[in-house]
A and B are shown apart, each in its own frame.
Chain A
């Protein structure tokens, strides 16, 4: 029953980039590898620019430095899980060891 409720859900959340180097190539790859594991369509928006969250080249285009605010939208059955996982990756600074 809950499954049916979420089957076409749209989840949106805002995240702030916290690692000091920003969303450079390595984090972009990690993010794209993560988003590709989900069925849902995922979009990432910074300022007025929105890109496909499953495309490395798209993510790079955002050139999001530390402090940038990203609006992440996921649409599909696993949208909620996707947003949670993305949030965790960003909060964990993409595993980068920085101050």
Chain B
């Protein structure tokens, strides 16, 4: 079942959040299945309707101070009630001393309990960003991703059409490769399509006739980026004389990735067409369009004026 093991969460975030595992280490096989956090103030006060037990529970100043104000038996009961609802884990912020009742309860009911020196808002921000990323819808698509003049260009097309060669040409011209062959795409914050590559092969490309090359070794650190937004998708395909290709660019074609529309162009490949230059120009033109200038529409307006004048 989907979800992140607490042990994975701990492993990934212990440095950034400076986490210490205080109690409940037998619960590290629990899973976080919800991409949000909860501050269980009302639950500590005894109100359990709609208690968001699936979420990571965060205790800040208010919660800890309130717990301390309770009589030990009451505090123990409330804590047990929260813990027995299968909360994934609890994090105490601001380096607070963990109340004894809480640590005992966490050990007994096997709920991992962490502590961090971070202040509460900072902790919430970082945990939310991490969870949002982990739970983001994702997909892997064949193709490569290159950042060209600041635009993330996803190049796709049939095997052998020259995707890698085009990407290599772009890198040689000072643009940045994110990944060749397979792009892992995540929808962050339900808005941004972010593409990245595999850790293992991120600096490598396979070029027919040359074999595997390491582009970072060949071109240096400037040629590489870990991830990038996808702004434009380009399909490269062999020139089909029977097909009518876009000749104006007045309307925008789009494809959908994870439900989000992405501006899309189909560029036919033919000898005599410098694909690197094509992609560079497409990226710049897309930039121009997103700034509100559509060259075809502007020309059309001038043309209409000219026709009126004659």
Contacts and interface: CB of A to CB of B under 8 A. Distances in A.
Contacts of B296: 25
B178 to A, nearest CB: 35
Contacts of A24: 300, 303-304, 307
Contacts of B299: 25, 60
B247 A63 contact: no
B307 to A, nearest CB: 4
B310 interface: yes
A83 interface: no
Contact of B250 (A21, A23, A25, A63): A25
Interface string B240-251: 000010011010
Output the residue of A21, A25, A65 with the most chain B CB within 10 A. Answer: A25
B308 interface: yes
A49 B137 CA distance: 57
B307 A25 contact: no
B244 A33 contact: yes
Interface string B131-155: 0000000000000000000000000
Interface string A15-39: 0000001111110010011000000
Interface residues of A, number: 14
A21 B304 contact: yes
Interface string B158-190: 000000000000000000000000000000000
Interface size class of B (residues with CB under 8 A): 10 to 19
Nearest to B309: A63
Nearest to B305: A63
A56 interface: yes
A29 B248 CA distance: 7
B310 A65 contact: yes
B83 to A, nearest CB: 67
B303 A63 contact: yes
A64 interface: yes
B247 A33 contact: yes
A47 B225 CA distance: 56
B247 A65 contact: no
A64 B247 contact: no
Nearest to A36: B244
Nearest to A63: B306
A98 to B, nearest CB: 14
Interface string A47-68: 0000000001000100111000
A15 B63 CA distance: 84
Nearest to A65: B307
Contacts of A33: 244, 247
Interface in A57-82: 60, 63-65
Contacts of A22: 304, 307
Given A25-B296, A63-B310, A65-B310, A56 B303 contact: no
13 contacts: A21-B304, A22-B307, A23-B307, A25-B250, A25-B299, A29-B247, A29-B248, A33-B244, A56-B247, A60-B299, A63-B306, A63-B307, A65-B307
In the A-B complex, the 9 residue pairs with the closest CB atoms: A65-B307, A25-B300, A63-B306, A22-B307, A63-B307, A33-B244, A29-B248, A24-B303, A29-B247
Given A26-B300, A60-B303, A63-B307, 14 more contacts: A21-B304, A22-B304, A23-B307, A24-B307, A25-B248, A25-B299, A26-B248, A26-B250, A29-B248, A33-B244, A56-B247, A64-B307, A65-B307, A65-B308
